Each structure stands twice: as structure tokens, then as C-alpha cells.
Amino acid sequence: MQTLCDNAAMDDELNRPPSRRLTSLRPALAFLRPYLRQVGLASAALVVTAGVTLSIGQGMRLVIDRGLAGGASAAMLEQTILVFALLMVALTVGTFVRFYYVSWIGERVAADIRFAVFRHIIRLHPGFFEVNQPTEIQSRITTDTTLLQTVIGSSVSIALRNALMFLGGIVLLFVTNAKLSLVVVASVPFVVAPVVLFGRRVRGLSRSSQDTIADVGSYAGESLRYIKVVQSFNHEPIDESRFGERVERAFAVAVRRVTSRAILIALVMLLVMAAIATMLWIGGLDVLRGATSPGELAAFIFYAFIVAGSVGAISEVYSDLQRAAGATERLMELLQARSILPEPAAPAVIPDGACGRLALRDVVFSYPTRPQQRVLDGLSLVVEPGEMVALVGPSGAGKSTLFDLVQRFHDPEAGAVLLDDRDLRSLALADVRGRIGYVPQESVLFAGTLRDNVRYGRPDATEADVRDALRQAHADGFIDALPDGLDTRVGEGGVGLSGGQKQRLAIARALLTRPRLLLLDEATSALDAESEEYIRDSIEALKGRCTILVIAHRLSTVRQADRILVLDAGRLVASGTHASLVRDSELYARFSRIQFGAAPDGTASGSVGRFGDTAA
């Protein structure tokens, strides 16, 4: 469990390269292309609202100089106020249109990115999830896309609007009073400098903050997912302590980010206010000398505040954009991840009448995380159509790895795995897995109804097909006894069902797909004696109809097989029936005595035993 991770691993996570520039947002902005019409409407509304806001300054100048100055008439004042009111109506309508479409775009793009990331990673090879924790990926899909939604649906609009206001305000400052405008221009370098100096630090802290938050969510998700294990070992105090450490680490990084951001904003506003104070002093003297009118000074002050506010807003939004850049990088890392199981450009086709012949030819395989350790070493075997073959061997012999290769979760380093005389690498992945039914030793059920779980591999199955699969798996009895039958809802992992019930449902799910090749990873391990007998009868009925390959831990399963293959250290060391192997294979005879409780002549002695290990 992740509870065994140490602080060094967390430090490595914090030291990941941060985003260095806002161009990291470019891949996210590419998701805007399907919605250019909405972007155009939002942009038009943005220009209108910025233009109207900037025109308010000229309206103020007219009101003061023409409507309130000496000689002004009431009619002129009313006319000026009417124009001002019309501008306010235009500003209100434009603001509504801008806010609606910008928010809609943000929500739509965030939804599209979530779907694109999930659609991509769900097709990646299982090895990807050995080095990328699913809980962290979940955090990226939720937290990071929510951050992007906020930025695209709000911050980008604010930044663009204030950029227009800044540029328009600078132009109108010079139009209104060129002399005072020089004061504003002279102050710009002093305002921009802190943004540049603090920007790099804020970017790095933003990325670290996202990573530590993801670590918090990842740890909590794992502990809650395995809550029974946590509580059975009285691990709650330790989990609380370690979760608290992660929370405090995330808080410390967030505080550093907030502090840097607060210093940046405060410093910018201080410099802006100092520039405005200087402008007011110089402008006030000009009004007293008659060099400028009160209306011009009022308009200039208005534009100065517009420019100052725009600078402050842009500096604040810049921090949000930097955080979004880090989030985009994390999401693009997922989208750019490539599967090591490439699909063939022109996949071969297995005839519909193929019977499920399986062959391994000199297969060599090591897991990417342990390349120096060979799990399969020159393994060759053949399972004929309709044959039932049992795999036995000690832990680490390569039994479960063989199942992974047959389903093409990995490709062999050397040799080939063939289904109906076709290399799996030449077939489409969906075609390979569509012909294989798999029942894991630890049955996996998903949150939802029992019907949804049985139909998982074949959603279009009829009710009659579902009932037939349940009868074959002897699961119909306990389901019919439930008040809601197949509509009974179960929690994630099948919470509310016994181990035997979950395993029978998993068998029914596999049988419903009508597989040509059925893989059973000791499918009766969680069943009671009566249920096991039922399942053995079902397997016996399937013999000849589909090829069956089973990892066997029980003597009953071994004896039911047509042939037994003994694996050791990734090699096939013996093959035959139970009786012949007890007689001719020292390794199998030893396991038979220890694990099966079988006498030297191949008969059971005492209770039925098992291989007491987990298949490797």
C-alpha cells in the first residue's frame, strides 16, 4: 500500500520540473477549435464591454465640462445622462453574453479534456499503471481539469478584457493629457519588473502545490478503498498520522505559493498607487493653473484607475494562468503517454469458426519494472481446441504472467503467443480479448446492479442469455433469493456479497461472452464445497465447447483437466495426467504430497489440499 511510501518518494514528486511558460496552455486551448462560434460571440461581447467601459471616461468629461460647468443647460445635462444610460444598458447586455459564453466554453472544454484523458488512458497497457498510481490519475482528471475550467471559463476572459482595457486606457490617457500620460508610462517598468521576478517562483510553487494535493487525494483514496484491511490491522492512527503529514506538506507548499502571490499583487498595487498619486499632484497643479479642465482631469483619473486596475488584475490572473499551465502539463503527460502494445496497421482476422487453439513458442518475458528477472524463460506449450489444461507450479513459476501474455497485457521479449495460429501482435486487441473469457482469482465487481456486472463484457446480451450464464455458474439460486434479483445494487468491489457469490458472478460474466478460450485463475478458490461441485459440473459441460486453461490449486481441478502442465522458474518442466506426473515428476510428486495431500499412487489422502501460494 501507499502507506509504505517514504518521504523521499514525496520529495521526488515535489522536484518534478515545473512549468516555465504559459505556452504550456496551448494544448488545452486546442480543445477550443470545435467551439469557434461560441468563442467568437464571447470575444465580440468582450470587445463591446471593454469599449463601453472605456467610453465612460469620456462620458464623465462631457458631464463635468458641459453638463455641470458654467453656462450648461438642463437639456444638455439630460442628453449627456441619456447617452450614459444607453452605454450602461449596452454594458449590461454585453456582460451577460460574455459571462454566459465564456463560462459555457470553460465547462465544455473541461468536460472534453476529462473525456479525452480517460478515453486515452483506459486503453494503455497495464504496466503504465504500475508506475502511475490510479488515484493520482483520478486527481488529475478531476482537480486539474476543474482548474482548467476555472481558467478558461473565467481567468482567460478576465485577462483578455483587462489587456484590452490596459491598451485602450493607455491610448485614451495620451488622447486626454499627453503630459500626465508620461508619468504612467514611466511607472510601467516598475510594475512589470515584480511580475517577471516573482513569476518563476510562483510557477514552480504552483506545480508543487498541484502535486502535493494530488498526493493527499491519492493517499485518502487508497486508505478508504481498502478500509477493511486498514481497520482489521488497527492501522487508523498510523494512516491518520501519515495523511496529516501529507496535508501539512500540501498546506506548507500552498502557503509559500499564496505568500509569493500576495507579495506580487501587493507590490504591484503599491507601485501603481504611487504612480497615481504623482499623477494627481501634477494634474491638480495644471487645473489650478488652468492648463487643463476639471473634466479632462476626471477622465484622466478614471483611465488611470482603469489602467492600474487592469495591471493588478492581469498580475493576479497571471498566477492563475501559471497554475493552469502546470495542470495542463500534467494532463498532457497522460494524453501523450503511449502504449507499448501497438495496434497493427492491418490486423489479421481470425475466422469465425476458429476453435481457440493456443500456442506459446519459446516465450521469454521480464516485467519492465524488473528487467533483470526473467519470469518466463523459453516457455513453449500447446493447448488444443476444446482441451482443458491445468497449470500448476510454485509461486513465481510464471502462471499468472502466462495469463497476462495470452490476453496481451504484455508482449513477450522473444518468441510468440499464438491464438488459432496467429501471432497476437498481428491481431487487433479487441479481437484477441473478445475471444477470451477471464475469471480472476480475486473476483472484481463494479458499483451498480448485478445485471450490469454480468453483462459487463456483453452489454447487448438478452435476458435469456443472462439467465443461462447464471445457471451455468450456479449463481441463479442466490440471485433469485434477493428481493430485487438482478436489479440488486452492489457497492464498488461487490460490497454486500460473499466471496463465493462474487466468484460465481465473475464466472457467469465470463461465460456470457461465449469465449473460444476460457482462462480460470483458480475460479473455485472462494467457493464452498457444494458450490465448487456445481462449478466443476459447469466446467465439465464446457469441455469440448471451448478451450479451457486453468491455474490449479486444488486437486479436484487438477483431476478434472485433460492434461496438467508443471511450471517452474518460467519453464515447462513436466506434462501429463495427475497419476503419471505423481509417478514421473519429482517436483509434481512433492507438491502433490504437500499441497494436494495425495498419496504416491495419485489418490487423495485426507482432506483436499491446495497450492498454498498466490500464482505469480
Q: Do 109 and 141 fall into the same domain?
A: yes
Instruction: Count other C-beta atoms under 10 Å from residue 615's C-beta.
Output: 24
pLDDT in tens, 353-377: 777 889 999 999 988 778 888 999 9
Three-state DSSP at 554 gives strand
Confidence of residue 475 (pLDDT cuts 50, 70, 90): confident
C-alpha cell at 279: 499623477
Question: Is the separation of the CB atoms in 472 and 531 below 8 Å?
Answer: no
List, in order, residues 6 or more apart from 16 with CB less than 8 Å away. 207, 211
pTM (two decimals) = 0.68
Q: Do 504 and 567 fall into the same domain?
A: no
| pLDDT at residue 597 in the model | 59
Helix crossing, 294-336 with 156-176: angle to 10°? Answer: 150
Instruction: Count other C-beta atoms under 10 Å from residue 229's C-beta.
Output: 11
Q: What is the mean pLDDT of residues 294-306?
A: 80
Q: Do 494 and 539 fall into the same domain?
A: no
- The domain tally of the chain equals 3
pLDDT in tens, 433-458: 888 989 888 888 888 889 998 998 88
Task: Please state, in angstroms and rounded to a whole number, the distance separating the CA atoms of residues 557 and 544.
Answer: 16
- Flag the least confident range among 64-73, 114-123, 270-279, 575-584: 64-73
DSSP 403: H
Q: Do 277 and 239 fall into the same domain?
A: yes
pLDDT in tens, 241-262: 888 888 888 888 888 878 877 8
| pLDDT at residue 228 in the model | 65
DSSP 556: H
Task: Please state, in angstroms and rounded to a whole number, the distance separating the CA atoms of residues 535 and 529.
Answer: 10
Domain-terminating residue out of 514, 534, 561 = 514
Confidence of residue 130 (pLDDT cuts 50, 70, 90): confident
Instruction: Count other C-beta atoms under 10 Å from residue 41's C-beta.
Output: 18
**Does residue 126 lie within any of the structural domains?**
yes
SS (H, E, C) 408-432: CCCCCCEEEEEECCEEHHHECHHHH
Q: Is residue 326 scored above 90 in pLDDT?
A: no
Q: Is residue 557 scored above 70 in pLDDT?
A: yes
**Does residue 10 lie within any of the structural domains?**
no
Q: Do 275 and 327 fall into the same domain?
A: yes
Domain-terminating residue out of 467, 493, 514 = 514
Q: Do 450 and 390 fall into the same domain?
A: no
Q: Do 323 and 411 fall into the same domain?
A: no
| pLDDT at residue 122 in the model | 85
Q: Do 230 and 105 fall into the same domain?
A: yes
List, in order, residues 6 or more apart from 290 with CB less than 8 Å away. none
Task: Please state, in angstroms and rounded to a whole number, the distance separating the CA atoms of residues 120 and 138.
Answer: 13
Task: Please state, in angstroms and rounded to a whole number, the distance separating the CA atoms of residues 145 and 148.
Answer: 5
Confidence of residue 57 (pLDDT cuts 50, 70, 90): confident
Which range of residues forms the domain containing residue 175? 24-336
| pLDDT at residue 602 in the model | 47
pLDDT in tens, 193-227: 766 676 666 666 766 776 777 778 777 877 877 77
**Does residue 240 lie within any of the structural domains?**
yes
Q: Do 260 and 370 fall into the same domain?
A: no
pLDDT > 70: percent of the chain? 85
Q: Do 377 and 326 fall into the same domain?
A: no
CATH number at residue 602: 3.40.50.300
| pLDDT at residue 296 in the model | 79
- Flag the least confident range among 95-104, 490-499, 585-594: 490-499
C-alpha cell at 543: 469441455
**Does residue 259 lie within any of the structural domains?**
yes
Q: Do 548 and 468 fall into the same domain?
A: no
CATH number at residue 252: 1.20.1560.10
β-strand partners of 554 = 610
Q: Is residue 552 scored above 50 in pLDDT?
A: yes
Cα separations (Å) of 479 from 443, 504, 528? Answer: 17, 11, 17
Domain-terminating residue out of 459, 493, 514 = 514
**Does residue 11 lie within any of the structural domains?**
no
Three-state DSSP at 373 gives coil
**Does residue 236 lie within any of the structural domains?**
yes
**Does residue 341 lie within any of the structural domains?**
no
Question: Strand 414-419 and strand 358-365: pairing?
Answer: antiparallel
**Does residue 6 lie within any of the structural domains?**
no
Question: Is the separation of the CB atoms in 348 and 370 below 8 Å?
Answer: no
C-alpha cell at 259: 505568500
DSSP 377: E
Three-state DSSP at 371 gives coil
Q: Do 484 and 540 fall into the same domain?
A: no
